[in-house]
Chains A and B, each alone.
Chain A
Amino acid sequence: MSAAELTVVGFRLPFRHFSDPAQLKSVMLSHIAGAGVPTESLVVFPGLMAMGLLPAELSMVPVGLAERLRQAGADLEASYLAIGEELARERHIYLVPGSVWLPAPIGYTHRAALFDPEGRLLGWQEQTHAYLWEAELIAAAEVAVWQVGPMRVGLLLGADPWVPEVSRVLTLQGADLLVAPLAPIAPYGSARAMAGLWQEVQQNQTFGLETGLSGTFFDLGVDGKLAVFAPCELTPGETGFFGEAGYVLSQQVRSAKLEPADLYALRERYPLLRHLNPDLYRRHWQERPEARP
Chain B
Amino acid sequence: MSFDLWMVRFRLWLASRPGKAHRALGRPKRGAVATPRVGVVRVAAVQMRFRFLTSAGAFARTVSQLVNQAAAGGAELVVFPEDVGMMLFGILPRFERITATGSMEEALARIGPDLSVSSIVELVGKSAERIYLSVFSRLARDYGMMIQAGSMPVMSRDGRVYNIAYLFGPRGQLMGTQLKCHLLPLEAEWGFAAGDELVVLDTPIGRVAQPICMDATYFETFRILSAEGAEVVCLPVADPDPSGNPFKSLRGLWPRVQESGVYGIQSCMVGSALDLTFTGRSGIYAPLDLTPTGDGVLAQALSDDEEIVLADLDMDALRAFRKEEPIRANAAFIRAYFPAIYRGFWRGGASGATRR
Docked-complex contact B217 and A285, CB < 8 angstroms: no
* B 299-331 binary contact with A (CB < 8 Å = 1; else 0): 000000000000000000000000011111111
Residues of B within 8 A of A284 (CB): 198, 224, 227, 339
Closest Cβ–Cβ distance, residue A145 to chain B (whole Å): 12
Quick check: A191 and B296 within 8 Å, CB to CB? Answer: yes
**Quick check: A293 and B342 within 8 Å, CB to CB?**
no
Does A70 interact with chain B (Cβ within 8 Å)?
no
Whether, in the assembled complex, A216 has its beta carbon less than 8 Å from a beta carbon of chain B, the answer is no
Q: In the complex, what residues of A have CB within 8 A of residue B347's CB?
A: 278-279
By beta carbon, the residue of chain B nearest A167 is: B219
Instruction: Select one of B219, B294, B349 contacting A164, CB under 8 A.
Output: B219
Mark contacts of A152-183 with chain B using CB atoms, 8 A cut-off: 1 yes-contact digit, 0 otherwise: 00000001001111101100111000000000
Could you tell me which residues of chain A, from 117 to 167, have a CB within 8 Å of some CB in chain B?
Answer: 128-132, 139-142, 159, 162-166
Binary per-residue interface labels of chain B (330-345) against chain A in the complex, 1 for a CB within 8 Å, 0 otherwise: 1111111111011001
The reply to whether B194 and A277 form a contact with Cβ atoms under 8 Å apart is: yes
> Which of A159, A162, A203, A232 makes the CB contact (< 8 A) with B247?
A232
Contact B342 A141 (CB under 8 A): no
Q: Could you say which residues of chain A place their CB within 8 Å of the CB of B182?
A: 275-277
Q: Choose from A159, A191, A274, A278 the contact partner of B339 (Cβ within 8 Å).
A: A278
Which residue of the partner chain A has the closest CB to B248?
Answer: A232
- Partner of A276 from the list B197, B218, B228 (CB cut-off 8 Å) is B218
B231 → chain A, closest Cβ, in Å? Answer: 15
Interface residue from A131, A140, A163, A172 paired with B354 (Cβ < 8 Å): A172
Return the contact of B259 from the options A164, A192, A202, A271 (Cβ within 8 A): A164
* B109 at interface by CB-CB < 8 Å: no
Residues of chain B within 8 A (CB-CB) of A279 are 196, 346-347
Does B26 reach chain A (CB closer than 8 Å)? no
Minimum CB distance partner of B220 in chain A: A281
Q: Bound state CA distance, A275 and B331, in angstroms?
A: 26
The answer to whether A267 has its CB under 8 Å from any CB of chain B is yes
Q: Indicate whether B72 reaches chain A with its CB closer than 8 angstroms.
A: no
Assembled-state Cα–Cα distance A264/B356 (Å): 9
**Residues A162 and B327 in contact in the complex (CB < 8 Å), given A195-B258, A238-B248:** yes
Give bound CA distance, A280 to B221, whole Å: 9
Contacts of A274 in B (CB 8 A): 345, 355
- The residue from B255, B336, B337 contacting A199, defined by CB atoms under 8 A apart: B255
Q: Which residues of B contact A199 (CB under 8 A)?
A: 250-251, 255
* CB neighbours of A272 from chain B (8 A): 217
Q: Separation in Å of the B169 CB from the closest CB of chain A?
A: 25
A78 interfacial contact with B, CB 8 Å: no
A33–B27 Cα distance when bound, in Å, is 77
Q: Which residue on A lies nearest to B254, using beta carbons? A: A195
Number of residues on chain B facing chain A (CB within 8 A): 60
Task: Report if A74 contacts B (CB, 8 A).
Answer: no
Contact of A291 with B by CB under 8 A: yes
| A291 surroundings in chain B (CB, below 8 A) | 224, 227-228
A204 CB to nearest chain B CB (Å): 10
Is B181 interfacial (CB 8 A cutoff)?
yes
From residue 197 to 236 of chain A, which have CB atoms closer than 8 A to chain B? 199, 202-203, 232
Q: Specify which of B181, B183, B255, B339 is in contact with A195 (CB 8 Å cutoff).
A: B255
Chain A binding surface SS class? helix
Scoring A139, A159, A172, A240 by chain B CB atoms within 10 A of each residue's CB, the highest score goes to A172
* A292→B251 contact, CB < 8 A: no
B224 touches A281 (CB 8 A): yes
Could you give, for residues 219-255 of chain B, a 1 whenever the CB lies within 8 Å of some chain A CB and a 0 otherwise? Answer: 1100110111000000000000001010110110011
B228 touches A191 (CB 8 A): no
The smallest beta-carbon distance between A160 and chain B, in angstroms, is 9
CB distance from B158 to the nearest CB of A (A): 16
Q: Are A132 and B251 in contact (CB under 8 A)?
A: no
| Most chain A CB within a 10 A radius of its CB, from B227, B329, B334, B337 | B337
> Is the beta-carbon distance between B247 and A275 smaller than 8 angstroms?
no
Residue in A139, A169, A194, A271 whose beta carbon sits within 8 Å of that of B185 in the complex? A271
**Nearest Cβ in chain B — how far from A244, in angstroms?**
13
> 1/0 per position for A249-292, CB-CB distance to B under 8 A?
00000000000000010010011111111111111111010011
Judging by beta carbons under 8 Å apart, are B339 and A192 in contact? no
Please tell me if B188 contacts chain A, counting CB pairs below 8 Å: yes
Q: Report how far A271 CA is from B214 CA in the complex, Å.
A: 13
In the complex, the answer to whether A189 meets B294 with C-beta atoms within 8 Å is yes
Q: Which of B183, B259, B326 has the most CB of A within 10 A?
A: B259
Query: How many Å lie between the Cα of A169 and that of B338 in the bound state?
Result: 9
- Whether the pair B288, A281 counts as a contact (CB closer than 8 A) is no
B96 beta carbon closer than 8 Å to chain A: no
- Residues in B with CB closer than 8 Å to A189 are 294-295
Contact B326 A195 (CB under 8 A): no
